[in-house]
Structure 1
Amino acid sequence: MEIQLSANICSIIPNFKIGVIHYDQIAVGESPQMVKGRLQLFQESIYFDLLDGKSVTELEGIREWREIFKKAGKDPNRYRHSAEALYRRVQKQNYLQPVHSAIDLNNFFSLEYQVPIGIYDAEKITGDVTIRIGGDNEVYLGLNGRENSVHNLIISADGEGPFGSPFVDSVRTSVTTATTHALQIVYLRPSLETKKANELIESLMKMFIQIHGGIASYKILGC
């Protein structure tokens, strides 16, 4: 499976970059207590930090990805990227509850790095993947339970069409406890230096493998 960035994204966001991780022979299941505990404690820490009056939109990673949505043609006040949505939930003490190990770690890393992260069952992806801007009539059933228009959103698309976005991912390629081969896309902050981006992705990958077993490889794609 090849992953590529489209020319239109690079023309709009010259420093756009993503981390791409391929996992194989993994075992997804209930999160170990260590992951559940860290996720809960981290959410509580974020909640108390935000009690001091700091706005979610003042956080560097959240702010940077709001700007990316604007550049792509989407109002970030109406279409909040997934990391911002998580932070707003935590701010209301609507804490994330454990789902399974892959989603729980995804949420933890998204909160930690203040960026959207998508994880997909690679067996449900058809052909190669292109990261591009969504077209006028493109929609999919999202994990939020709704049909979502992806017009002017950054999307991941395969041979069947769009399946992922830093806004919300699709049901079609969702990871379950039956998943053994996964694709993870980390929507990095464009301002992040390449060296630090590699360190971040490698650290994330190692922790994921520590929990799920299997083998993995990664690369950074940028404009």
Structure 2
Amino acid sequence: MHPVEISNSIKEKCPSLHIGMITYNDIVVSELPQMLKGRFQLFYEEIMLGLEEKGVTDIDGVAEWRSTFKTLGTDPSRYRPSHEALFRRLKKGQRLPYIHSAADINNFFSLKFEIPLGIYDLNRINGDVILTIGNENDQYEGINGRMMSMKDKLLTADDHGAFGSPIVDSKKTMVTNQTTNALQIVYFRPSTADEEKTAIINEITAMFTHIHGGEASCRIIN
């Protein structure tokens, strides 16, 4: 298991920001089972109906993470939390694309719990992992194909530099159908109670291992 810690810079600005870390070994990533596609689609359609009567920023988890970004020095109107981007897509009446089982489950739980999630190929992570605020040297090519400057943004980094964030993750560590070991980061809302964090991380772990097989270990990083 790669050691993971939260930097002092984050602890000073937002001491209640905690993350969940789930490590998966010997998994098989493939197409999402049809049964889950149907379940997820019904859930997404329910969200679409709810968003006909309210704005995306009225969603509690979106509002709280936008506030957290501001506290950490990031403008949430320019750089949106990843779960907000998903909600905005549904607000427009657009379907979420199915990518592969790992990414699809990430999107589902991101919308269910109204939080960002990251999933990374563990074999492409080098050394310790730290959650910190980026500087002018932190950048990477995002999974959207764009070069991302991570200055003043919340990010995860290993010994080779930044590789992920609750905005967009990097191509360098993205999960593919060839991934056999993965690291999942759960970005809890700062207001989340300890017992709820445990319930969230356990639910995510249970579904992920049910679909992908393998073994998992999880913990909450304070």
- 2:118 maps to which residue? 118
Question: Once the 2 structures are TM-superposed, how far is the Cα of residue 91 of structure 1 from its aligned partner?
Answer: 0.6
Higher mean Cα deviation, 127-136 or 30-39?
30-39
Distance in 2, Cα, partners of 1:109 & 1:139: 27
- 1:147 maps to which residue? 147
> Does the residue aligned with 2:78 lie in a helix, a strand or coil?
coil
> Does the residue aligned with 1:136 lie in a helix, a strand or coil?
coil
- 2:25 maps to which residue? 24
- 1:42 maps to which residue? 43
Higher mean Cα deviation, 89-98 or 16-25?
89-98
Query: Is the 1:35–1:105 Cα contact (8 Å) retained in structure 2?
Result: no
Q: RMSD between aligned alpha carbons?
A: 0.7
Question: Once the 2 structures are TM-superposed, how far is the Cα of residue 137 of structure 1 from its aligned partner?
Answer: 2.7
Distance in 1, Cα, partners of 2:94 & 2:143: 18
Encode CA deviations 1:81-123: one digit per residue, 9 max, x unaligned.
0000000001111111211100000000001011000000000
Distance in 1, Cα, partners of 2:11 & 2:141: 27
Distance in 2, Cα, partners of 1:77 & 1:59: 15
Distance in 2, Cα, partners of 1:20 & 1:29: 22
Query: Is the 1:110–1:116 Cα contact (8 Å) retained in structure 2?
Result: yes
Distance in 1, Cα, partners of 2:134 & 2:38: 37
Matched residue type, 2:56: V
- Give unmatched runs, 5+ long, in structure 2: none
Distance in 2, Cα, partners of 1:64 & 1:82: 13
Per the normalisation by structure 2, the TM-score is 0.98
Question: Once the 2 structures are TM-superposed, how far is the Cα of residue 74 of structure 1 from its aligned partner?
Answer: 1.0
- 1:75 maps to which residue? 75
* Equivalences for residues 82-93 of structure 1 within 5 A: 82-93=82-93
Distance in 1, Cα, partners of 2:136 & 2:17: 22
Distance in 2, Cα, partners of 1:18 & 1:93: 31
List structure 1 segments (4+ residues) > 6 angstroms apart after TM superposition: none
Distance in 2, Cα, partners of 1:6 & 1:77: 25
- 1:211 maps to which residue? 211
- 1:95 maps to which residue? 95
- 1:167 maps to which residue? 167
Distance in 2, Cα, partners of 1:35 & 1:165: 27
Distance in 1, Cα, partners of 2:194 & 2:221: 10
Matched residue type, 1:124: R
Matched residue type, 1:152: D
Matched residue type, 2:92: K
Q: Is residue 182 from structure 1 mapped to residue 190 from structure 2 by the alignment?
A: no
Matched residue type, 1:174: M
- 1:133 maps to which residue? 133
Question: Once the 2 structures are TM-superposed, how far is the Cα of residue 78 of structure 1 from its aligned partner?
Answer: 0.8
Matched residue type, 1:168: V
Matched residue type, 1:219: R
Question: Once the 2 structures are TM-superposed, how far is the Cα of residue 64 of structure 1 from its aligned partner?
Answer: 0.6
Query: Is the 1:35–1:104 Cα contact (8 Å) retained in structure 2?
Result: no
